[in-house]
Structure 1
Amino acid sequence: MTVPAHEFDPESLGTPPLYTLNLSAAQRDVLAWLEEHGAFEQAIGVDAAQVASDCGISESTAYEAFNRLTGLRLALDIAPATYRLNARYFFTAHPEMRTMVSAALHDPVVQPDERALAPRKRGNTDARRRRTIRPVDTD
């Protein structure tokens, strides 16, 4: 399924640049902490005390940072103390990925041919049998 070019704009995947959001240093640190701990790929459980310790901030500042990040929707509060980063933020940080996603949505679907649909070989015996030169009967 291809998406017509007029329906999808890869730039729509991005978010406003971070410098326009007026994030504090603690909020940037918490955002970086979430990135480093894999919050792009999946929702992760977060202990605010551990985040505060890792980032060198107070626990109350960590809570304020999480509240601001979820308010901006940079971090999505999936469940209590479980966060995932907004995929649009990922695409802002990695603009080359926007181009790849756009190409994937516009490119045609890969179509297997007859050879791809043929049965696969079962084992090495079949391959050896095909490579063996057999004498021809001359009788």
Structure 2
Amino acid sequence: MSAATHSHHGFDPDSLGMPPVYSLNLSASQRDILEWLTSRGAIFDPVVAGTEEIAADCSVSTSTVYESLARLETLHLVDHPDPARYRVNPRYYFASNPEIRRLVAEALEAPQITPDARAEGPRKLGNVAARRRRTIQAVPDQE
């Protein structure tokens, strides 16, 4: 059975999760920096962020930023692929959004959407486009 084939037991949405964040005993600074990165889209793509910028925005010292990022990296909550680029582990998002996690699991289990003959055929002109072609231009008011 290949990795792409799903077992009969189904995909377990909890495998996308992680230990509850509260159980990781993050410091306030670590939570703030994680939230700072998340709010800048670091769950979707690595974000460029200097430690001075993070320190200023989170009202902490640069040494606190270094220590916090080091711990977040050790926990695999944050990845640091290149200098000054950080990515939040997408599992962090799924851990805090169980309904999205469930939806992803259902999407992986759901049947493929398969086009039929009509889908393969020529496109019908949409109603709005057809109406637009028939629209009669208003005559300007005569004064």
* TM-score band, normalised by shorter chain: 0.7 to 0.9
Cα root mean square deviation, aligned: 2.3
Do the aligned residues in 1 keep the contact of 2:11 with 2:109 (CA within 8 Å)? no
- Residue of structure 2 in register with 1:101 after alignment: 104
Distance in 2, Cα, partners of 1:76 & 1:10 = 22
Cα offset, 1:8, TM superposition: 2.4
- Residue of structure 1 in register with 2:30 after alignment: 27
Do the aligned residues in 1 keep the contact of 2:48 with 2:85 (CA within 8 Å)? yes
- Residue from 75, 90, 96 that aligns with 1:87: 90
Distance in 2, Cα, partners of 1:101 & 1:68 = 29
**Unmatched segments (≥5 aa) in structure 1:** 129-139
Q: Partner amino acid for 1:35?
A: T
Moved beyond 3 Å, runs of 4+: 121-124
Alignment length (residue pairs): 128
Higher relative contact order (CA 8 A, sep 6+): 1
Identity %: 49
> TM-score normalized by structure 2?
0.81
- Residue of structure 2 in register with 1:131 after alignment: none
Cα offset, 1:3, TM superposition: 2.3
> TM-score normalized by structure 1?
0.83
Q: Partner amino acid for 1:104?
A: A
* C-alpha distance 122-7 of structure 1, shift in aligned 2 (>3 A): closer
Cα offset, 1:12, TM superposition: 0.9
**Unmatched segments (≥5 aa) in structure 2:** 132-143
Distance in 2, Cα, partners of 1:122 & 1:103 = 34
1:41 aligns with 2:44: yes
Q: Partner amino acid for 2:77?
A: L
